[in-house]
Amino acid sequence: MVASADGGAWLKGLSKGLSSPGDRRIFMVLRGLADVVLAGGATVRIEGYGPSKPRDTWRPLREGRFAAPPVAVITRKIDLDLGGALFTECAPESRTIVITTESAPADRRAEAARHADVIVAGEQRVDLAEAIGELRSRGLGRILCEGGPRLNAHLAAASLVDELCLTVSPLMIGGDAARVLNGTASHTRFALAGVLEEEGSLFCRYVRDPHQEEAR
């Protein structure tokens, strides 16, 4: 995730306004390391998601795996553009995954199944623990969540976040932008594992604090 120095998760509705060349390089390395990219339906729509495309720099990172990770979308109602690039331009081995609910409209589930792999996890809301379990059962154990903030909050509340990679942009933006976690309250202690800096941006990596786990 990327945030402004005063905690905002987007600028004019989009995260790219807070990004930088260094942030984008790290973002692509994280995608290259991932087995699957996870995002909420709203983020996919607003940010204009397409499929991950193979990169030459990923070859050593993805040895023994598909050339690019699939994108998995959390969506309760499947209110997505199923004719868009995310569903029509991905490689067969990296087909987009739709994670939805039993209550999703039957016609939307059927249409999604024509273009993507569909996982049903939960009745009215997506059960995130079940969804993560389904991804892992498919061999997709290294899951990179790119948000948005509401999905992040739900994952954190369910104790499903092991690591946080956060770029802090040297901007003060004010306004009403959400924080990196927006919604469900949670309290998880993380340990700082590393910091990089470029042109005022800080690239921070946090991992779940093992001492907190021992205390539970």
Query: Using one digit for the tens of pLDDT, what is the confidence trace for 104-161?
Result: 999 999 999 999 999 999 999 999 999 999 999 999 999 999 999 999 999 999 999 9
What are residue 189's phi and psi, to 5 degrees? -85, 130
Q: Evaluate if residue 213 carries a pLDDT over 60.
A: no
Which one-letter amino acid corresponds to residue 205? R
Tokens in use for 3? 């945030």
Query: Using one digit for the tens of pLDDT, what is the confidence trace for 65-112?
Result: 999 999 999 999 999 999 999 999 999 999 999 999 999 999 999 999
Q: CB–CB of 4/19 below 8 Å?
A: no
**All structural domains of the chain:** 1-34+147-216 (3.40.430.10), 35-141 (3.40.430.10)
- Gap between the Cα atoms of 209 and 191, Å rounded: 5
- Tokens 């092991």 correspond to 162
What are residue 24's phi and psi, to 5 degrees? -70, -35
What CA dihedral angle connects 185, 190, 193 and 198, to 10 degrees? 30
* % pLDDT > 90, the chain: 93
**Per-residue pLDDT band at 214 (split at 50, 70, 90):** very low
**Per-residue pLDDT band at 215 (split at 50, 70, 90):** very low
Side-chain-side CA neighbours of 175 within 13 Å: the count stands at: 15
What are residue 15's phi and psi, to 5 degrees? -75, -25
Tokens in use for 157? 């509340």
pLDDT for 176: 92
Sign of the C-alpha dihedral computed for residues 77, 139, 180 and 211 taken in this order: positive
**Average pLDDT in the chain:** 94
